[in-house]
Amino acid sequence: MRALWSERAKRLTWRHVWVALAEAQAELGLITAEQAADLRAHMHEVSEASVARALEIEREIHHDLMAELRAYAEQCPVGGAVLHLGATSADIEDNADALRLREGIDLLRGALRDLIRAFAEQTLRYADLPTMAFTHLQPAEPTTVGYRLAQYLQDLLLDDEALRAARALIRGKGFRGAVGTSASYAELTDDPAALEQRALAKLGLEAFPVSTQIYPRKQEWTVVNALAGLGQTLYKFAFDLRLLQSPPLGEWSEPFGVKQVGSSAMPFKRNPVLAERIGALARFLAALPRVFWDNAAHSLLERTLDDSANRRAALPEAFLAADEIVQLALRVVRGLQVNEVPTKRTLQAFSPFAATERLLMALVKAGADRQAAHEVIRERAMEAWAAVVAGLPNPLADLLCSDARVTCHLSPEQVRKALDGVGYVGDAPRRARALANFALERLAHDPMEPLVWTI
């Protein structure tokens, strides 16, 4: 990803676009084959020396693309004189940016496939392991670790689909000159559209049906939104992990190296630094769509240049941040530690509360008044909750088994059986496995196909 958004890659891609245009012009007899061949022969000669030369020219003329054009032309004694014939800067820059947007998504989706696979494998591994679920950050009912992981996996599949869809919509500006009317090319040929199609075919690129001096900046907003959506999913995962790694719960841990240092002052620390790094980068990534919203909204009339400077920084940074977030998440998921002892401890402490609904149903079936039974359970649950908060074992079963208002309908054995909340996970294991297997099956086929749920 760094190579793709590097200065050298940018200039190489510009040259690739220039050569495609020149070769199309040669095929139509607008320049000679020798001139086009000369441009191709020197296309890859982007070195430290050539970049230095371009920067030297830029300091004089204050136009980066024209500076690269002149440096390139100096290398091409035969073809340099016809380089950029009929073009405006955005004919080169925007087509090149479309190519890099597309390649950036391909690189990111490749890494994302590895992450989806890692989540699917961990989902299968822990599909049946019960754990306490939390709503409002309060204990709720049991779920399974695999089912919790399946939530992130599902969101990643949606993120992958958003990236696929964004990539499918990427188009270049085409070759249409200063305001998108192809007027300059019409001075060279009676059929500027045919010239454009030849050049675009050499790039493997389609163009928008209409364009101004630039391609629609809405395109970049759509792409960066998809990147930010991926960051959103992994931010939530990382934040959840940080909560679960905190000592009061201690259920999950990110991987921690044998010689890893957690703190310069406190040698015992095992800080969730990878998850925190994901959070930091995802916050940054989340702020970038607004930049591209403004770029699209403020591209007045046929274009203004007040997007140019921020795009140079924001486009590479969006892709680099998204890529780094995925790589960090991959390290975390592959090395995820699910600590079963504290997981079981939390479950045992709170699962009887979750099973009170089951007990209520059993009491009503046995002839109890539903409202009266609800109040008895509520009273006893509040007593038990106070004990748990004080660090004592959960006494709810004992309290209810000793309450005559309950035992007049159910035996103590029936009460305890009803309050066994560990197995109260419904079909979570089946659904977790189904989603994980669906994800793995999707990875085994064409990743460019649209997402269709078949679970």
Domains and CATH numbers, the chain: 7-85 (1.10.275.10), 90-256+269-343+430-443 (1.20.200.10), 356-418 (1.10.40)
- Judged against a pLDDT cut of 90, whether residue 455 lies above it is answered with no
User: For residues 362 and 204, what is the distance between their CA atoms, to the nearest angstrom?
Assistant: 67
- Judged against a pLDDT cut of 80, whether residue 241 lies above it is answered with yes
Residue 295's pLDDT is 95
Residue 140's pLDDT is 86
- Judged against a pLDDT cut of 80, whether residue 326 lies above it is answered with yes
Residue 375's pLDDT is 96
Scored b (16 or more CB within 10 A) or e, 12-44 reads: ebbbbbbbbbbbbbbbeebbeeebbbbbbebbe
User: For residues 419 and 369, what is the distance between their CA atoms, to the nearest angstrom?
Assistant: 19
Task: List residues with catalytic annotation.
Answer: 136, 263
Residues 6+ apart with CB under 8 A from 88: 177, 178, 184, 213
Give me the mean pLDDT over the 427-449 stretch. 91
Residue 386's pLDDT is 93
| pLDDT tier at 49, thresholds 50, 70, 90 | very high
Give me the mean pLDDT over the 172-185 stretch. 97
- Judged against a pLDDT cut of 90, whether residue 414 lies above it is answered with yes
- Judged against a pLDDT cut of 80, whether residue 5 lies above it is answered with yes
Alpha helix locations (H) across 28-144? 33-41, 48-61, 64-75, 89-125
Give me the mean pLDDT over the 148-154 stretch. 98
- Residue 174 gets the label, from left (phi > 0), alpha (psi -120 to 50) or beta, of left
Looking at every residue in the chain, the average pLDDT score rounds to 94
Residue 152's pLDDT is 98
Residue 261's pLDDT is 67
Residue 127's pLDDT is 98
Residue 448's pLDDT is 67
- Judged against a pLDDT cut of 90, whether residue 446 lies above it is answered with no
Question: pLDDT tens-digit profile of 242-295?
Answer: 999 999 999 999 997 767 766 666 766 678 899 999 999 999 999 999 999 999
Give me the mean pLDDT over the 352-367 stretch. 90
Q: Sign (positive/negative) of CA torsion 232, 233, 236, 238?
A: negative
Residue 22's pLDDT is 98
- Judged against a pLDDT cut of 90, whether residue 358 lies above it is answered with no
- Judged against a pLDDT cut of 90, whether residue 433 lies above it is answered with yes
- Judged against a pLDDT cut of 70, whether residue 372 lies above it is answered with yes
Pick the residue with more confidence: 328 or 388? 328
At position 168, the amino acid (one-letter code) is: A
Give me the mean pLDDT over the 229-247 stretch. 97
Q: Give the distance from CA 445 to its chain's centroid.
A: 20
Residue 172 phi/psi, 5-degree rounding, is: -90, 175
Contact 109, 447 (CB under 8 A): yes
Single out the residue of 391, 361, 433, 443 nearest to residue 123, CA to CA: 433
Question: pLDDT tens-digit profile of 97-146?
Answer: 999 999 999 999 999 999 999 999 999 999 999 999 999 998 888 999 99
Give me the mean pLDDT over the 154-161 stretch. 97
Question: pLDDT tens-digit profile of 284-324?
Answer: 999 999 999 999 999 999 999 999 999 999 999 999 999 99
